[in-house]
Structure formats: structure tokens, C-alpha cells
Structure 1
């Protein structure tokens, strides 16, 4: 058994079990890749790949268990390199951030500005995606840190750090009927609703609130981006439900924000990274700035 054989298994998973593409990542031809898998299976004494003829469909139960150990070995290898870089006080490299559009626009600018001043030689790569895809980026080592609200708590392989709580608001044009009188979920449900796509920006709390009230959450338009929702509210398509911080009084003077914190439970945005991952000094600094930014301004930013 050697490290290249274990790497090949990781590349097989990444390439959806395309042996040729997995071999290319190791600079070997398909026949050589196939031979390496065969040697590993012979050493283990049982198949680790599910096959139909020459086509590979996935991992056997043994293969899945092997992959759990492969992930730990790969993480240990990465940790060793990061520890060595930290020991040399190496200030070059890259910080990969996986987050959502809302976080990128409203939370990250100031922490990134301060990070750039402290570590000017470290490149910053930001990937904006859905919470589910963000978690996958962490597990495939394509992101060092994730910042979002939904789904993180369900993954036991992550270290979760709470960042801040926030609430939703309804946004409507001026002179809209909802601006007069008390606002309630039943009244809100009588209008076409525009809000986030499932899995984004506290959608689960919106859904739970309507369900608890015995109301159907009938969404006319769903989007991942608050700006898109505001655009279609302006066009008269309905009432928007967005994160309170996404309402900007100067830019959104034509809209009115109505507090929904008494109707929809507050949500919590979190920071996450892989368990057992060594945190280099620059990543510790960045996490510290994220938390400091939240404490300084108490932003209510969703993901």
C-alpha cells in the first residue's frame, strides 16, 4: 500500500469514478491507474470498488470505510505542511472562503480589508454558493472556512462557531396596505410572497413559522440574492421577506422594512471548518476579525 494508491481513490471520487481522469491527476495512464487499484484490493483482500464489467459505480462498504481513513490521512498531510509553513512564519499562500452572496456583501468587506493589511502576500479566493455546496467545498479541501446559516449544524465533521443572530423583515413599497396596522403571518400570507430559495438565508425558519401557524408558505418568486428580491418587489410582484441587514435605508429609500422578529424565529450565522484541521495563524487571525466585526457592529447578516 502506498500514498499514491490512496490519492487515486480520492481522485476517483472527485471525478465520479472516471478512472482515466483520476489517473491524469496522478500523471499516469488509465491502465496504470487500474493496476494500482487492483494491487490495493489484492492487499486488502476484498473489492473496494463497485463494478459492472469495466464500469465503476462507486465504493463497496469496505471502500467507504477505507475512504474515511483516506480523508484523515489526507488531512494529516495537509496539516503537516501547514504546520511547517507556520513554523517558518510563511506569509505567502492562499485563504479560500466559501460563503453566500449576502455574507460576501455585508459581513466580509471589513475583515478582508484588515486581513489584507496584516497578510498582504496571502491571496484570497472567495466562492459564493449554496450552504450544501459550501459544506462539500470544505470536505473536498476547496475551502478553508465556511460562513453561512443553514445546514452546518447537521454535519458532525465540522467545528462550528456561532457568529451572530439576526432576524427577517418584510419589504414593501411605500403606501402598501401592510404599512398600516399590526402585521401578522395570516395577513402576510394574503399577499404574494417573494423570499429566499430553500436552503438559503433562514428559509427554514420562515417555513417553520408558517407551518406552526397552520398557514401555507406560498412563494411567488424565490432567489438566493436579496437584491433580486428587492428588484421584483419594486416591480409590484409581491411582499419580500429578507434579512434585516439587506435593507439599506439610503439605497432602498423607496421601500419600507417591517420587522418580523416577533413572527419568525431569529436565525444564527456560523463559521465552520473541518475537525482536526490545523488552523494556521493567518486563518486564526481572520476568524478573530470576523467575530470582532460582529461584536463591534452587531450586524444582523444572514446566509
Structure 2
């Protein structure tokens, strides 16, 4: 049994049994991945994957247990390497951040600008992801930090630290009729085409409220991110509800924001970590730049208390 075999089975599982994609991610050949898996199965004495005509179609029950333990083993191995690098230098290394598009686009740039000035040798990777993909990246070790505002449930091994609350605003183009209303209702909003983006906490909140009242917008347009959604609204294609951080009156001069605190409660932004991962000193530095109240001892205590 070797590390490469463990990487192969974990990556194949992560790629939904697509051996070709797994090989590409691991920078190796498809036959090489298949050989590594076969050798591990022969050593264990059972099949990790269920096959039909040499094609992987499922993960066996025993295989699921192996993959779960392999993922933990790989994270431990990575942490050992991180410890070694940390002893050599505290200012060299990598930092992978998985964040929702809104956070990556509107919150992180200022923090990253400060961080890169203080830690110029740290290589940063930003992964704009959906909520589920962010959690998956943390579990598999592809991300060190997650920043998001919504998740259905938190997988075992992850810890979520709230650090910011935000409001939502209704965005409309200049001269829109809704600007004449002091407190527009959901019924008022539903009379106009609605522009949303997926995935988005604002989207689910707005549409869930409309569904609750059995309201339907005449048109529902979807954009790929907040910038696209705002462009659609500015061009008169509809209205939208977004986190207030996504609106800057100095930049979005073709839009107007309407207060809708009476319609939507405040929401929370979370910093999510894997409590099994070793955090480098500069990772703690980034966290305190993002959320000054999350001092190192607070983060360590949260990770320790959630670690069975």
C-alpha cells in the first residue's frame, strides 16, 4: 500500500468514478490510475469499486470505508508536510481559499491586498464555489479556508465560525417605479421580472418567500454571478435582491438600492475550517485580517472543542 494508491481511489471517488478526470487531476495516465487501484484491491483482498465490463459503476460498501480512511490518512500526511515546511519558514507556502462568488468578488479583495503585502511569498488560490463545493473542498483538503453564508448542514470534521452579519437590498434601475414606494412588499416586487443567480442565498430566500405567498414573477432570469445579475438589472431586464456588500453606489451608478429589512432578516457569513488540518501561522494571520475578532486562540479553541 502506498500514498499514490490512496490518492487514486480518493480522486476517482471525488470525480464520480470518472477515471479519466481523476488521472488528469493527478497528472498521470488513466491506465496508471487503474493499475494503482487494482494493486490496492489485490492487497486488501476485496474490490473497492463495483465494475461492469471493466467500467466503474459504484463504490462497494467496504470500499466506502477504505476511501473514508484514505481521505483522513492523506490529510494527516499533508499536515506532516505542512509542519515540516512551517519549521523551515513561516512565510513560504500556499493558501487555498474556497468562497462563494459574492464573498470572493466583494469581500476578499481588500483582505487579500493587505495579506499579500505582508506575506508576498505565499501562493494564494481562490476557488469561487457553491456552498456544497466549498465544504467538499475543505473535507478533501483542496481548501484551507472556506467563506460562505449558507449551508444545509455541516459535515463532521468541519467547524463554522460566524464573523459577519449582512443585510439584503433590492436593486432596481434608475427611475424604476419601486423607488416611489417607501416599503415595497413582496407582492410589489413580484409584479416585475426577477433576476437571480445560482447558487445564492439571496436567491433561495427571495424565491422561497415568493413561493410561501404563492407569488410568481412574470419572468425569472438567471445570471452566473452578482456582476452579471446587476448588469441585467441596470439594463432594465428586471429587479433583484442581493447582499448589501454586492452594491457600491460609487461603482454601480446605474442602480439604486431599496431597503428591504422589513422583508428579509439579517444573514450570517461564516469562516469554515477543517478541524483536522494544521493551520500555518500565516493562515491565522489571514483569518484575523478577514475577521479581527477571530483571534488565533479563539480559532484553536473552536477547532479543538469540535474535534471528537
Instruction: Report the TM-score when normalising by structure 1.
Output: 0.84
Structure 1 residue 286 displacement after superposition? 0.6
Indicate the larger mover: 1-10 or 278-287. Answer: 1-10
Structure 1 residue 250 displacement after superposition? 1.8
Q: Secondary structure at the match of 1:71?
A: helix
2:186 aligned with 1:185: yes
Structure 1 residue 184 displacement after superposition? 0.7
Structure with greater contact order relative to length (CA < 8 Å, sep ≥ 6): 1
Change (3 A) 1:35 1:238: closer
Aligned positions, number: 292
- Within-5 A mapping of 1:120-199: 120-151=120-151, 153-181=153-181, 182-197=183-198, 199=199
Structure 1 residue 85 displacement after superposition? 1.9
Provide the residue aligned with 1:92 in structure 2: 92
Change (3 A) 1:218 1:137: farther
Output the CA distance in 1 between the equivalents of 2:20 and 2:231: 46
Structure 1 residue 28 displacement after superposition? 7.9
Change (3 A) 1:11 1:229: closer
- The superposition leaves residues 102-136 of structure 1 with CA deviations (integer Å, 9 ceiling, x where unpaired) of 22232112221221122111111222233333333
Q: Secondary structure at the match of 2:268?
A: strand
2:254 aligned with 1:257: no
- Within-5 A mapping of 1:9-48: 9-14=9-14, 16-18=17-19, 22=23, 25=26, 30=31, 34=34, 36-48=36-48
Provide the residue aligned with 1:281 in structure 2: 281
Q: Secondary structure at the match of 2:75?
A: helix
Alpha-carbon contact 2:149-2:268 (below 8 Å) kept = yes
Structure 1 residue 19 displacement after superposition? 7.5
2:124 aligned with 1:102: no
Change (3 A) 1:151 1:224: farther
Indicate the larger mover: 245-254 or 272-281. Answer: 245-254
Output the CA distance in 1 between the equivalents of 2:256 and 2:195: 15
Alpha-carbon contact 1:205-1:267 (below 8 Å) kept = no
Structure 1 residue 166 displacement after superposition? 1.2
Q: Secondary structure at the match of 2:292?
A: helix
2:71 aligned with 1:71: yes
Change (3 A) 1:145 1:29: closer
RMSD: 2.9
Change (3 A) 1:2 1:255: closer
Structure 2 residue runs without a partner (length 5+): 295-308
Output the CA distance in 2 between the equivalents of 1:185 and 1:29: 53
Structure 1 residue 205 displacement after superposition? 2.0
Structure 1 residue runs without a partner (length 5+): 295-303
Structure 1 residue 277 displacement after superposition? 0.8
Change (3 A) 1:293 1:123: farther
Q: Secondary structure at the match of 1:163?
A: strand
Provide the residue aligned with 1:58 in structure 2: 58
